[in-house]
Structures are given as C-alpha cells and as structure tokens.
C-alpha cells in the first residue's frame, strides 16, 4: 500500500500544483487513499519532495531531481520488493507485481535503459515489455530474476 500511495503522490504532484500537506491529503483521499497528516509528512520525507517557487509566485511540491542515486536505489528496492513473477511469450516479457506497484517497477526498468526493450506498458499489477527480437528475451528475463536476488 505504501508504494502505491507514494507512486500516486508522485503522479499527483506532477499533475497538480500542491502547496500544502493538507491539499496533498485531500487529493490522495479523492484517489481512494485514506491518510493522516503524519502519513503524508512521512511520505514527503521518504520521497524527498521539495517545495519550489512557481512562476506565478506560489509554492508547490516537486520531486527532488538532484538526488539521482537515491532514486535509483529506491526504484531497485521497489522492484525487488514488489515483483511476484517474470515470464515470457514470444518477444513479450510479462512481469507480475503486487497490486498498485507495476508503475513503479516499470519506472525502474525504463530508467535502466536496457538494450533490446522497445517499450513498456504498466497496469495496476502487470507490466508488458516488448523486446525487439525473441532471441533477446531469455537474457533479459535472466537479468530481471537476478535483480530479484541481488541489488542493482
């Protein structure tokens, strides 16, 4: 639940001008997440969100783009903790995740810029990866399974 809520927070702050924790809590509630101010505060800290001044003179929360290594580490942890299975068929890899975690896991894969992956589609708990050639699927599946055992 925490990962899907934090993923939704990142989505919300990228599409709304959120200037307070209270407003963020309201938007989370509108999206089906029952949260307290303490939970929102903890999520903001864990996500390392920043408040920045907008062109119209107001403040809003934004993701910290300066701390790339923490983002990579965080995505790797999310990947390891949420993936349930990796399988393939033809030139498609299907990755099953915990409910609400596919987007975060797909972001991990996308951020790795792996060769031979043409694109990804993430739903709530499933990721489809299209691989350029069927002969490249096995090495990618092995890499994903290895990621589940060991950190990036």
pTM score: 0.56
Q: Please determine, for residue 55, whether its predicted confidence score (pLDDT) is greater than 60.
A: yes
Q: What is the mean pLDDT of residues 20-41?
A: 94
* Tens digit of each residue's pLDDT (9 = 90 or more) over 115-140: 899 999 999 999 999 999 999 999 99
Domain boundaries, the chain: 2-62, 81-149
> Are residues 88 and 96 in contact, defined by beta-carbon separation less than 8 angstroms?
no
> Residue 50 CB: number of other CB atoms within 10 A?
15
**CATH assignment of 81-149?**
3.30.1360.40
**CATH assignment of 2-62?**
1.10.10.10
> Are residues 94 and 125 in contact, defined by beta-carbon separation less than 8 angstroms?
no
Which pLDDT belongs to residue 150?
63
* Tens digit of each residue's pLDDT (9 = 90 or more) over 75-128: 677 778 889 999 999 999 999 999 988 888 888 788 777 889 999 999 999 999
């Amino acid at each position: 639940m925490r990962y899907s809520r934090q993923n939704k927070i990142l989505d919300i702050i990228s599409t709304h001008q959120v200037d307070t924790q209270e407003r963020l809590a309201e938007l989370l509630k509108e999206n089906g997440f029952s949260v307290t101010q303490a939970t929102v505060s903890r999520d903001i800290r864990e996500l390392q969100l920043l408040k920045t001044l907008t062109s119209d003179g107001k403040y809003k929360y934004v993701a910290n783009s300066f701390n790339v290594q923490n983002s990579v580490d965080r995505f790797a942890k999310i990947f390891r903790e949420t993936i349930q299975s990796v399988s393939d068929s033809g030139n498609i890899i299907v990755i099953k995740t915990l409910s609400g975690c596919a987007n975060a896991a797909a972001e991990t894969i996308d951020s790795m810029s792996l060769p031979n992956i043409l694109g990804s589609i993430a739903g709530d708990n499933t990721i489809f990866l299209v691989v350029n050639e069927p002969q490249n699927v096995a090495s990618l599946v092995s890499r994903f399974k290895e990621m589940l055992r060991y950190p990036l």
